[in-house]
């Protein structure tokens, strides 16, 4: 029997992602088509005004998911629940590690901007566009984050964007592909650049860091999407809780999530150190 805590494949043999899963590999042309649909539907929200929340969600997520489902949907869904317990442990641990790294990188950017262009930091006083909603709508968005945003964005960016790269290029350089997919994930959040200018580097670093944590979780669990979707949804929901209840509550909940992640990371590292003499751990 396969050990669910073991790596998805041995380090000395890295077959194509879909080859190992017994599925037909994605082609470069269909992958490019999928990416174009994703970015076109994401950026279309900046061109269409006055549409309802439901119509906007369909425009951003529904169109992309329909395209992905036609191109690659079965391959994504067949492994979406693989090794869930392992994915939970790794997901929280890597979330803790990368949020700390993202916070450190953000502080470094702040220091650099203070020296080079301190006026740019004034733009950060503007409200986050996606959070600029009424408390009533914020409560709706709390649930939407858990039920819609987290699952949809993980299906799109970890399942298709990252999983598609693994299918096209194999898994030998999976960490580079995870980084590329995380940059693409950040690139659809155009509203940060439009709102904060050069200071948008700070939220973009945080988005890339979270994207890396979720991509590594997806890869190391063999394609589990449930846990990345849950972590993503809870993280976004804490932002809306800051509007629905109070900034202090939102900050406290996000801090608690990060603390759980850091604790999980420490436990993961200690377990890894304990298993090293035995010849391996749960991640490379």
* 187-243 residue pLDDT tens: 999 889 989 999 999 999 999 999 999 999 999 999 999 999 999 999 999 999 999
What pLDDT does 19 receive? Answer: 57
**Cβ–Cβ < 8 Å for 184, 163:** no
Would the pLDDT of 1 be above 50? no
Would the pLDDT of 130 be above 60? yes
Residue 168: CB atoms within 10 A of its CB come to: 17
Distance CA 119, CA 171 (A): 43
Cβ within 8 Å of residue 115, ≥6 positions away: none
For residue 5, the SS3 value is coil
Distance CA 273, CA 227 (A): 24
Identify the CA nearest to 91 among candidates 225, 236, 208.
Answer: 225
Predicted TM-score (pTM) of the model is: 0.89
**Cβ–Cβ < 8 Å for 28, 22:** no
Identify the CA nearest to 258 among candidates 92, 133, 102.
Answer: 92
Q: Show the tokens assigned to 30.
A: 């269909």
What pLDDT does 103 receive? Answer: 95
**Cβ–Cβ < 8 Å for 232, 149:** yes
Q: Which residues of 188-218 are buried (b: 16+ CB within 10 A; e: fewer)?
A: bbbebbebbeebbbbbbbbbbbbbbbbbbbb
Would the pLDDT of 125 be above 50? yes
Instruction: Classify residue 52 by burial, with Cβ atoms within 10 Å: 0-12, 13-18, 19+.
Output: exposed
Measured in whole angstroms, how far is the alpha carbon of residue 38 from the centre of its chain?
15
Phi, psi of 11 (to 5 degrees): -70, -20
pLDDT tens per residue across span 60-115: 999 999 999 999 998 899 999 999 999 999 999 999 999 999 999 999 999 999 99
User: Which of residues 5 and 247 earns the better pLDDT score?
Assistant: 247
For residue 12, name the pLDDT band (cuts at 50, 70, 90): very low
What pLDDT does 275 receive? Answer: 78
C-alpha torsion sign, points 44, 203, 157, 174? positive
Question: What would the 3-class secondary structure string for 28-92 be?
Answer: HHHHHHHHHHHHHHHHHHHCCCCCCHHHHHHHHHHHHHHHHHHHHHHHHHHCCCCCHHHHHHHHH
Question: Quick one: what percent of the chain has pLDDT higher than 90?
Answer: 73
Mean pLDDT over all residues of the chain?
88
């Amino acid at each position: 029997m396969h050990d669910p805590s073991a790596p998805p494949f041995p380090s000395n043999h890295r077959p194509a992602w879909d080859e190992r899963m017994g599925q037909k590999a994605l082609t470069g042309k269909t992958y490019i088509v999928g990416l174009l649909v994703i970015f076109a539907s994401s950026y279309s929200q900046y061109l269409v005004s006055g549409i309802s929340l439901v119509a906007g969600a369909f425009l951003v997520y529904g169109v992309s998911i329909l395209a992905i489902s036609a191109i690659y949907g079965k391959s994504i869904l067949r492994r979406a629940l693989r090794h869930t317990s392992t994915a939970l442990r790794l997901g929280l641990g890597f979330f803790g590690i990368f949020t700390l790294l993202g916070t450190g990188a953000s502080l470094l950017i702040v220091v650099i901007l203070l020296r080079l262009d301190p006026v740019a930091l004034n733009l950060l006083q503007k409200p986050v566009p996606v959070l600029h909603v009424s408390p009533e709508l914020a409560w709706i968005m709390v649930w939407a984050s858990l039920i819609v945003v987290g699952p949809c964005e993980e299906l799109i960016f970890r399942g298709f964007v990252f999983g598609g790269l693994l299918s096209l290029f194999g898994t030998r350089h999976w960490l580079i592909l995870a980084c590329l997919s995380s940059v693409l994930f950040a690139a659809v959040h155009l509203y940060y650049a439009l709102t904060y200018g050069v200071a948008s580097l700070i939220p973009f670093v945080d988005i890339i860091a979270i994207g890396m944590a979720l991509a590594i979780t997806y890869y190391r669990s063999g394609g589990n999407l449930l846990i990345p979707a849950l972590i993503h949804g809870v993280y976004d929901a804490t932002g809306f809780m800051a509007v629905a209840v109070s900034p202090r509550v939102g900050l406290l909940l996000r801090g608690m999530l990060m603390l759980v992640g850091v604790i999980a990371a420490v436990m993961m590292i200690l377990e890894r150190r304990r298993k090293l003499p035995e010849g391996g751990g749960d991640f490379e």
